[in-house]
Each structure stands twice: as structure tokens, then as C-alpha cells.
Structure 1
Amino acid sequence: MKKIDKKTKMVMMVIIATIIAIVVVLTIITIKARKPKAANELVGRWNAIQQEVNKGDEAVSLIPATDGKYIVISNDRIKICYLDNKKDRCKKVKYTYKDNVMEIADNDFYLSGKQEVLLDGEYMVLKYVANDTDSFELIFKKA
């Protein structure tokens, strides 16, 4: 068996260390570049079944008053829709989802800003808190 000299060992160690460093750097870049994806439970169509407005101590429940509202959630976009004269009006906007908070890009439809997400089986509640006393909740059922 042939013995490996010190110079060859050193070159091999440098090559191995370089390969490991490249793998670590590429892994870090990939993780940082990855957008947070929606939880699998969120993806799909959700029909609005109830909306509620809380003004201080007073809660106004608007049942069903959802006007054919529904949303379709994919990994990085949300399609916000409502029924207008028997015709669907929709808008696709970007959103992010992290730690049970969905942040929906500004739009002129009924959902935008930071929404707290509460999931319970086939139901989802999106809660928008305007201030300490005022909030808006929209309850959806999975289609």
C-alpha cells in the first residue's frame, strides 16, 4: 500500500473544506431566499359564512351579509372575490403567512393588512384588529 505524503493530505483537506464551505453557503442562501409557504390547511377555496364587527363593548353580527364573498388561497397569492349582480368580481394579491398571521397586500377589496388566522377543522376566522377596542372578523368554511 502506497503512503500519502503530507503535501497531498493537505491539498485533499483543503479541497474537502472548500466543498463543505460551498455546500453550507448554498444552503444558507437557499433558506434565506425561500418565501414562507402557506400551511397546507390554508390552501384552497373558502366561502364566507359570517362577518362580525366589534366596536368597543358592542358586537354587531352580520349574518349572513357576506354577499357571496369567498377567497382562494394558493402558496403566495390570495384571490379575493365577491358576488356583484350575479357576477363574480375577483382580485389576486400577494400575501405572506407566518406564526398564524396573514399579511395581505393593499387592495380595494374587503381584505387587506394583517389578519390573525384561527383554524378549526373546516372553519377559518380572519380577525383584523384596528385598535384596542375595534375589530373585524370574517368566518369562512372550507369549500
Structure 2
Amino acid sequence: MNFSITIKDTIRINADRETVWNFTQDPSLRSVWDRTVTKCELQQKRPQKVLRLKMLGGILTDLTYKLCRKPIKTSLKLTETRSWLFKGGGGSWKYHEFDGHTEWVQTNTLVFRHRLMYWLFSKPIYLILEKMTARSMRDAKKLIENN
């Protein structure tokens, strides 16, 4: 059994998808709009893009891109995760353009290290992650639309 939680959220941004992509995919801006990320650095560009993230709670992880189809979709896996609670995860971001607006869909999954941790923490972590994802997406929307 996989002991994981998945969050999915969507927001509509008044900008074309190229603009939304460029902003949300820029590692130097990640900690500006995503409060769960305290530091984000590009580790490698090829053969796969890899970002190193330092997150709230002291979690360190690498995001290894499995798919990077600008400006349509990304898909990635958490690798080299250093956390007492999580062993990995992944996600995808999709960008759909409609009449000059972009619908940004974010799906994120976290996998717990142990069944006990999942049973104890999955509900509160789910609620926190859901809230933080929505807040981060709203913050990105405000910054993109105000530029």
C-alpha cells in the first residue's frame, strides 16, 4: 500500500501561459511566491532539469523533472528527500490558455516514510498542504497580474 496524499488545485490567471510558465518555473522566484520553499537552486539543466529545495520544517529534496514541455506541462519526482516524515513524492503542473487567460493546474503528492506516520499525520498534513498550495497559487497570481 502506498501511504501518500495528493493535492490538486486550479487557478485562473489574467496572463498568457508563456508569462505564467516563465514566472512559476523560475527557480530564483520560487521562494517569493511559495511560502513552503525557503530556498530553491538549479542543480543541473541536462539531461534532466534538477532543482534543490529547502522547505519549511527543514525538508531538503531535489525535484527531478521527468517532463518539461514549455509552456504546457511539467512532471517531476522528489528525489534525494531528506525528511523524517516523507520519503518522496511528485507532481505535475499544467498550463491551459483561454482567451488570454491561463488556467494553472497544480497536482502534488507526498509519500510518507511509514504507515504509522501516515495514520498519525496524513489528515493534518493534507489540510496544511491544501491551504499552502492555494495560498501560493494566489500569491503567484497577484505577482503575475501586477507586473
TM-score interval for Structure 1 and Structure 2 normalised by the shorter chain: 0.3 to 0.5
| TM-score normalised by length of structure 1 | 0.33
Q: Which has the higher contact order (CA 8 A, sep 6+)?
A: 2
Name the structure where helix makes up a greater proportion of residues.
Answer: 2
Instruction: Decide which structure has the larger Cα Rg and report it.
Output: 1
| TM-score normalised by length of structure 2 | 0.33
